[in-house]
Chains A and B, each alone.
Chain A
Amino acid sequence: MSAAAPASAPGAPPAPPPSDGDKDDRLVSVGRVRRLLMTPEVGAGSAAVLVFVGFTLVSPVFASQAGLANFLDPAATMGIMAIAVALLMIGGEFDLSTGVLTGSTALVTALAVTELNMNVWLGILLSLGFALAVGAVNGVMVHLTKLPSFIVTLGMMFVLWGLNYAVTQRLTGQVTVSGVRQYSGYDSARALFGSAVGPFQVSLVWWLLLTAVGAIVLLKSRWGNWIFALGGNSDAARAVGVPVMRVRVGLFMTTAAAAWLVGTLTVIRYGNATVTSGIGLEFYFIIAAVIGGCLLTGGAGSVIGASIGALIFGMVQQGMPLVGLPSEFFRTILGLVLLAAVLVNLWIKKRAMKVTS
């Protein structure tokens, strides 16, 4: 490791790194501690701690039970989506239809229950089937056409957006479908999707559970290895026998299923669904995933990081008015956090790929 050695001269062949004698062919080593500090989770985690401490210092109520519940609530639904979106982004794809789909799934459940006099559980299952079908269509189209998923899912987003309005209007004459609470099966569904312990919502449990499951799948299962490879080099993955189509379609179906869960949590908790819900949220999910260390080019990222990204989102959203910052600036602040995170990620990637020679 001759740090003083100059970079290879221009015009020279792709030379081996200048080094000490016969050791030039072994792996370059990066210190484990340094590598740990460079992981996206640590970066996002320190940012989260900083935000939390900052808000608490200005307004101690931020750290009270009510304060915690206040920011953990939006963080939970954001986090559930960010986990799935992070997995998809690590796999090298985007999904812009996720936001609107959280609204669509809630509407499907609400409409099925109220219009068809259906048991709430059946409505929820029907909605799950709908979500998985949407995810499968997204995934299969992206896989077969090789079109950018950005375009394919943008199309899907507008299709769903229009359907949300049109179908709801035509069936009910309204923009909100309410009254789900009166139907059979609601109470048991509420226990799972709409209950709360004190000020803490059950969505928090779903979020933590899915963070754990997502992290284990990504880091420990072969599917996780395939997801990294799909985003890192999908041709290479195919060449060594990874079932590329199944992984890709599976990822789109996972984000759709997460959207279904968020839609279900909403419709059961409030007992109604409205046509405007979910619109525009897809960018928040992507922002949370990127703050957590996902590269837009795929191949790298973290589930835990994405969850921390969602936590930061919740804290900033709820903390700003609390400390006297005008909440109209929320999106501006979020944008700045995103830019900062992207710059840090870029730096991390460069450090990780740098051959110290």
Chain B
Amino acid sequence: MSENPALTAPPDHATTTPVLEVRAITKSFGRVTALRDVTCAVREGEVTCVLGDNGAGKSTFIKTLSGYHAPDSGEMLIDGEPVRFSSPRDALDRGIATVYQDLAIAPLMPVWRNFFLGSEPTRLGMIRTREAKRIVVEEMAKMGISVRDPDQPIGTMSGGERQCVAIARAVYFGARVLILDEPTAALGVRQSGVVLKYVMRARERGLGVIFITHNPNHAYLVGDHFVLLKRGQTVSDMTREETTLRGLAQEMAGGAELEALEHELGRAAQTA
């Protein structure tokens, strides 16, 4: 049971209202039910990990949370109030920011231009360039990354740093809930570490984080509670106290299925 010293006590579930909550949402595409009765909540200063294998419904779940799809049934609540998002922009305006795996950046553009893209600070129609650059340096510094030159093309940054810029951007523009779509999937061990540290910073700053991943190791490092999706359904919802890394991995791989696989592979190895 590796206790992570970075983890402070999560907020008391009994007393705080989740900043974002979905209750029993269902979403079908034609005859395929991508999500069925999925329930999940995130409070301020808390990381909710949504785990699932490929095809478990993670993408549909993210797109529903971020306003791309409207759920067929079920409820979405912000601060306990029922809401319906009409568009991703609508979700963003309500403080639900999504950072996608295929990072939304233009690689040849400077860091500061990417940071402010779509929300440029202007005076008389002109971008306040100096202010924009200063803010980028400050915001990144708050998250522990030193940007010496905001004019650097963002494509020259490492994958982890680019994720961090995308997260810093969301935080700066007033996100209350960050939805991170497999932010560590394409990264090496060390770069993943950078992003995970950054997730913890966001959590310390009081944001609710929904961290979507298929990596139980990464999830267990930062998560306060864990929602497991399988074939579009919630198969378990555990707090950190209720599970262990091994338990999580077991659960995710489907427990019995994993044992069967181990057995099968073991036998294959013997016969080879």
Contacts and interface: CB of A to CB of B under 8 A. Distances in A.
Interface of A: 13-17, 24-30, 32, 35, 216, 220-222, 224-226, 228-229, 231-233, 235-237, 239-242, 295, 299-300, 349, 352-355
Nearest to A23: B146
Contact of B127 (A27, A220, A355): A220
A242 B117 contact: yes
Contacts of A299: 106-109
A225 B147 contact: no
A235 B104 contact: yes
A221 B125 contact: yes
Given A237-B106, A237-B117, A220 B129 contact: yes
B161 interface: yes
Contacts of B104: 233, 235-236, 239-240
A30 to B, nearest CB: 7
29 contacts: A14-B188, A14-B191, A16-B188, A16-B190, A24-B190, A27-B157, A28-B156, A29-B148, A29-B149, A29-B152, A30-B156, A221-B122, A221-B125, A222-B120, A222-B122, A225-B116, A225-B127, A226-B118, A228-B106, A229-B113, A229-B114, A233-B105, A237-B118, A241-B89, A242-B117, A295-B108, A352-B108, A352-B156, A353-B108
Interface in B160-176: 160-161
A297 B226 CA distance: 43
Contacts of A221: 122, 125-127
Contact of B146 (A13, A14, A26, A229): A26
Contacts of A24: 190
B145 interface: yes
A228 B158 CA distance: 21
Interface in B47-91: 88-89
Closest 7 interchain pairs by CB? A232-B106, A240-B118, A236-B104, A13-B188, A241-B118, A233-B106, A222-B120
Contacts of A35: 151
Counting contact residues on chain B (CB < 8 A from A), the size range is 35 or more
Nearest to A224: B127
Nearest to A353: B155
A28 B125 CA distance: 32
A239 B108 contact: no
Contacts, number: 126
B216 interface: no
B111 interface: yes
Interface in B233-272: none
B119 interface: yes
A236 B108 contact: no
B186 A14 contact: yes
B153 interface: yes
B196 to A, nearest CB: 13
A25 B109 contact: no
A222 B117 CA distance: 8
Contacts of B114: 229
B221 interface: no
A237 B105 CA distance: 8
B189 interface: yes
In this complex, the member of B88, B103, B118, B157 whose beta carbon has the largest number of chain A beta carbons within 10 angstroms is B118
A30 B149 contact: yes
Contacts of B158: 16-17, 25, 355
A349 B107 CA distance: 11
B109 A239 contact: no
Contacts of A355: 156-158
Nearest to B121: A222
B117 A229 contact: yes
Contacts of A236: 103-106, 117
B92 interface: yes
In this complex, the member of A32, A216, A241 whose beta carbon has the largest number of chain B beta carbons within 10 angstroms is A241
Given A14-B191, A222-B127, A232-B109, A25 B161 contact: yes
Nearest to A355: B156
A236 B106 CA distance: 7
A212 to B, nearest CB: 14
B135 interface: no
A300 to B, nearest CB: 5
B186 to A, nearest CB: 7
A354 B155 CA distance: 9
Nearest to B169: A240
Given A221-B125, A235-B104, A353-B155, A228 B118 contact: no
B152 A30 contact: yes
B106 A229 contact: yes
A131 B190 CA distance: 55
Contacts of A300: 108
B159 interface: yes
Given A228-B108, A353-B155, 15 more contacts: A15-B188, A16-B158, A26-B147, A27-B111, A221-B125, A222-B127, A225-B113, A225-B116, A229-B113, A233-B107, A236-B104, A237-B118, A299-B108, A299-B109, A352-B156
A284 to B, nearest CB: 26
Contacts of B129: 220
